[in-house]
Amino acid sequence: MGGMISRSFRIALLFLMALVTFSAGQAAAAEVVRVGVLKFGTVSWELDTIKRHKLDEKHGITVDVQAFAGEDATNVALMAGAVDIIVSDWLWVSRQRATGQDLTFVPYSTAVGAIMVPPDSPIKGLGDLAGKTLGVAGGSLDKNWLLIQAMAKKDHSVDLASASTIVYGAPPLLTEKVQQGELDAVLNFWNYCARLEAKGFRRLVGGHEAAAALGASGPIVALGYIFHDTWAKDHPAAIEAFVKASADAKALLEQSDDEWTALAPMIPGEEAERKAMRDRYREGIPRASADEVEGDARALFSVLADIGGEELVGPSKELMPGTFWRAQ
Task: Give the model confidence (pLDDT) of 89-129 as tens digits.
Answer: 999 999 999 999 999 999 999 999 999 999 999 999 999 99
Average pLDDT, the chain: 90
Which pLDDT belongs to residue 218? 85
Phi/psi for 285 (5° steps) reads -70, 125
Q: Is the pLDDT of residue 251 over 70?
A: yes
Would you say 193 and 280 are in contact if contact means Cβ atoms under 8 Å apart?
yes
Asked whether residue 26 carries a pLDDT value surpassing 50, the answer given is: no
* pLDDT band at 6; cut points 50, 70, 90: low
Question: Does pLDDT of 64 surpass 80?
Answer: yes
Distance of alpha carbon 283 from alpha carbon 49, whole angstroms: 18
